[in-house]
Amino acid sequence: MSEQLPASIRDVFPFKNRFAHLSGGAKMHYVDEGEGDMILFLHDIPLWSFYFRNLIDDLRHNFRCLAPDYCGFGLSSKDVGRNYSLRTITDNVLELLKMLNVGRFNLVMHGWGGVPGMAVATRWPERIKRIAIFNANCFLEYRMPFLHSIYRYASLGHLAVNFLNLPARHAAHSAAIGSKSRAGYIYPYGTWSSRTPTRIFFENLPESKSCPIGRWMCEEAEKMGILSKKKCLAFWGVKDRVFPLTVVDRWKEYLEELKVHEFHSSGRFALEDDYDTILPLIRRFLMAGVEIKLPI
């Protein structure tokens, strides 16, 4: 993927493209904008840091905003034959954070970004300040959503993901956005090979804890009690058919301080559909945790 985005996409994603070379040979794209208390943004699949573009643009005046693209997604390298499971995604995020010497940070997660987000948070609970959840999931669902079931089977997966690019197109056309932003969602997935990591990701989604990834997800979720006293805020589009409102109940089992804002006209992309309402809420939430450094 070229480091130089088309002008039409740069208009709505006006950030410097940065890249980290990970130990396994992959090249990981990330956005690193602003100064101050850090916010780590973890995106859904097959989205990329583009989903957080408006929040980054608004919050970078008060915070340092770090938003990686998982390897295989967005502007990161998409090497054929690599493992694009949730566990590998988690390992890559951890490696990037170590490379950048990240200290304490706020955590913002969307969709499947909840898995690496919580895995990172339970490893480094002392570094986590506040947590914001956007229709995110980190729990093993024994009954996979219908669309994900289609994507995971070989013949249907090749047709739906590699040929038709349905996951990215669905994301682009599900949100109330303009044509430039729709093009931004789809841009990293313009070829058959660039869509292969998405198909591999869905093929690797566990249906039960009988498989290694499923057991790992359950083990990671059980560690979340260590975060029970963290200040947490959820923004939930209740029309989401992949992660319905019942997922919030699972979050509440572990996060005692969780507060929830429901958006009844939105689905999985509430950050797009209800941005003007969400921005002041999340700004107020994050600013309440800002560490003010007094002069010596």
Residue pair 171/276 in contact (Cβ under 8 Å)? The answer is no
Q: Which pLDDT belongs to residue 2?
A: 47
- pTM comes to 0.94
Indicate if the alpha-carbon torsion angle 97, 98, 101, 103 is positive or negative. Answer: positive
Nearest CA-CA partner of 31 in 46, 41, 45, 21? 41
Q: Which pLDDT belongs to residue 294?
A: 47
Nearest CA-CA partner of 152 in 234, 84, 106? 84
Spell out the residues 6+ positions from residue 58 whose beta carbon is closer than 8 angstroms to its own: 279, 283
Least confident of 45-54, 170-179, 264-273: 170-179
Task: Please give the average per-residue pLDDT across 131-158, as a whole number.
Answer: 80
pLDDT, one tens digit per residue, over 176-216 is 677 778 899 999 999 999 999 999 999 888 878 888 999 99
Question: What does the alpha-carbon distance between residue 236 and residue 56 come to, in Å, rounded to a whole number?
Answer: 19
Fold of the domain spanning 7-287: Rossmann fold (3.40.50)
Least confident of 83-97, 141-155, 280-294: 141-155
In the chain, where the domains are located: 7-287
Least confident of 10-24, 41-55, 170-184: 170-184
Say whether the peptide bond before residue 46 is cis (omega within 30 degrees of 0). Answer: yes
Residue 71: strand, helix, or coil: coil
| Residue of 65 and 202 predicted with greater confidence | 65
Question: What does the alpha-carbon distance between residue 93 and residue 91 come to, in Å, rounded to a whole number?
Answer: 6
Sheet containing strand 105-110, edge to edge, reads 18-21, 27-33, 64-68, 38-42, 105-110, 128-134, 231-237, 258-263
Largest CA distance in the chain: 65
Question: What does the alpha-carbon distance between residue 117 and residue 96 come to, in Å, rounded to a whole number?
Answer: 13
Q: What percent of the chain has pLDDT over 90?
A: 74
